[in-house]
């Protein structure tokens, strides 16, 4: 299989559902890539899953670049998209081009993701004009969590739904190759998918989207503390509990002198 590109992902609309996941390090990226996942997002969610922050807002460019480089080293085929962190593209299109350029040139990413609707069009146009593929993101955008007042489903009211459809159309015209739709009613996710000619990638936006993405820690059950119930997440494994059991067993065997046995010694 050849390397996935933004152009190939864009061409999948109406042809095949697109599978996407987050990854933040070499080992997990290697596993995700080997599973045939087409798009890997180095999400700013690493602020919470890898660095222990309460929200995505504190993560820095330096931290995102560091993790993106690790993911890129583990990938052979998937499209690697780097999530541009809070305030790395908000000031001006020129700031966005400079920082996005670092993800492409320095970290080796294939594309970047930016949050926001129609108001983000000048920034997206500047990025695309400079040869940087862009993944859009509308609906619940965690970088705007302060103004949204929490993690809430978006687009329930008719006016809000219409605005999100208009946002998606504007992003398509600006040149994005796909759009993430987060936490929307499934009917709205389907309507937006029909309204645009680029793929939609849903996360809590229903089966009508062209593809799906999840945070890998959520779908593998890798949380180290009690996680909030996310109705849109399907847990495919419970690796947190499995890992915890293995660690406790290791500790007990060391304490009792069971490990290392002769077979583990020279």
Helix-strand-coil percent breakdown of the chain, rounded to 5?
45, 15, 40
Is the distance from CB of 160 to CB of 130 less than 8 angstroms?
A: no
| Burial class for 95, CB neighbours closer than 10 Å (0-12, 13-18, 19+) | middle
| Residue showing tokens 């009211």 | 157
Which DSSP state fits 227? P
Give the CB-side neighbour count of residue 214, counting CA atoms within 13 A.
18
**DSSP H helical ranges for 75-176:** 93-105, 121-129, 145-148, 158-174
CA dist., res. 190 & res. 205, Å (int): 8
H/E/C letters for each residue in 195-225? HCCCCEEEECCCCCCCEEEECHHHHCCCCCC
Catalytic residue among 63, 166, 182, 225: 182
CA distances from residue 146 to 149, 152, 155, 180 in whole angstroms, order as listed: 5, 12, 17, 20
Annotated catalytic residue 182: yes
Number of residues that make up the chain = 266
Largest Cα span, the chain: 71
Residue numbers annotated as active site:
182
């Amino acid at each position: 299989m050849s390397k996935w590109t933004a152009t190939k992902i864009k061409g999948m609309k109406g042809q095949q559902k697109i599978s996407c996941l987050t990854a933040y390090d070499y080992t997990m990226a290697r596993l995700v890539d080997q599973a045939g996942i087409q798009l890997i997002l180095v999400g700013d969610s690493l602020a919470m899953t890898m660095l222990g922050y309460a929200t995505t807002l504190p993560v820095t460019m330096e931290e995102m670049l560091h993790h993106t480089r690790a993911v890129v080293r583990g990938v052979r085929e998937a499209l690697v998209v780097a999530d541009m962190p809070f305030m790395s593209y908000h000031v001006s299109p020129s700031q966005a081009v400079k920082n996005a350029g670092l993800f492409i040139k320095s970290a080796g990413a294939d594309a970047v993701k930016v949050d926001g609707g129609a108001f983000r069009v000048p920034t997206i146009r500047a990025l695309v004009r400079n040869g940087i593929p862009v993944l859009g993101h509308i609906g619940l955008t965690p970088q705007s969590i302060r103004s949204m007042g929490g993690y809430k489903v978006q687009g329930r009211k008719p006016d809000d739904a219409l605005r999100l459809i208009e946002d998606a159309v504007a992003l398509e015209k600006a040149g994005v190759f796909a759009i993430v739709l987060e936490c929307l009613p499934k009917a709205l996710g389907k309507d937006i998918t029909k309204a645009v000619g680029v793929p939609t990638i849903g996360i809590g936006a229903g089966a009508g989207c062209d593809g799906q993405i999840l945070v890998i820690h959520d779908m593998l059950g890798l949380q180290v503390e009690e996680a909030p119930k996310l109705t849109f997440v399907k847990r495919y494994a419970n690796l947190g509990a499995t890992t915890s059991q293995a660690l406790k067993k290791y500790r007990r065997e060391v304490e009792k002198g069971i490990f290392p046995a002769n077979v583990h010694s020279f």
